[in-house]
Amino acid sequence: MLPEFRNEPFGDFSSSERRASMQRALRHVAGQFGATYPLVINGEHILREEKLASLNPAEPARVVGYVCKGDQELANQALSAAEAAFQRWRQVPVEARAQLLLRAAAIMRRRKEELAAWMVYEVSKTWVEADADVAEAIDFCEYYARQALRLQGASHPLTPNPGEYNELRYIPLGPGLAIPPWNFPLAIATTLTVAPIVTGNTVVLKPSPRAPVMAAKLVEVLEQAGLPPGVVNLLPGDDAVIGDYLVDHPKVRFIGFTGSKAVGLRVLGRAAVRQEGQHWLKRSILEMGGKDATVVDETADLEAAAEGIVAGAFGFQGQKCSACSRAILVDGVYDLVLQRVVERTRELRLGNPARPETNVGAVIDKRAFDQISAYIAIGQEEGRLVAGGEVVDHELLKDGGYFINPTIFADVAPRARIAQEEIFGPVLAVIRARDFEHALEIANDTEYGLTGALYSRSVERLQRAREEFHVGNLYLNRKCTGALVGAHPFGGFNMSGTDSKAGGPDYLHLFTQPKVVAEKL
321 is catalytic: yes
> Coil, strand or helix: which one is 220?
helix
User: What is the H or E stretch that residue 306 is in?
Assistant: helix 302-314
| Residue 149, CA distances (Å) to 95, 416, 439, 465 in order | 7, 48, 44, 35
Nearest-angstrom CA–CA distance, 509 and 410: 44
Instruction: Choose, from 114, 129, 287, 422, the residue flagged as catalytic.
Output: 287
Query: Which segments within 437-511 are labelled E, that is strand?
Result: 448-449, 451-455, 473-476, 493-494
Nearest-angstrom CA–CA distance, 20 and 14: 10
Residues near 359 by Cβ (< 8 Å), separated by ≥ 6?
126, 314, 348, 349, 350
Instruction: Choose, from 59, 68, 136, 321, the residue flagged as catalytic.
Output: 321
Residues near 365 by Cβ (< 8 Å), separated by ≥ 6?
55, 57, 60, 210, 402
68 is catalytic: no
DSSP state of 103: H
| Residue 347, CA distances (Å) to 314, 334, 340, 373, 435 in order | 12, 20, 11, 22, 30
Q: Is residue 364 within 8 Å of 473, Cβ to Cβ? A: no
Residues near 436 by Cβ (< 8 Å), separated by ≥ 6?
295, 297, 330, 456, 458, 461
User: What is the H or E stretch that residue 170 is in?
Assistant: strand 164-172
> Coil, strand or helix: which one is 519?
strand
User: How many Cβ atoms are within 10 Å of 325's Cβ, its own excluded?
Assistant: 29
Q: Is residue 124 within 8 Å of 317, Cβ to Cβ? A: yes
Q: Is residue 182 within 8 Å of 211, Cβ to Cβ? A: yes
Nearest-angstrom CA–CA distance, 383 and 429: 8
Which residues are identified as catalytic?
287, 321
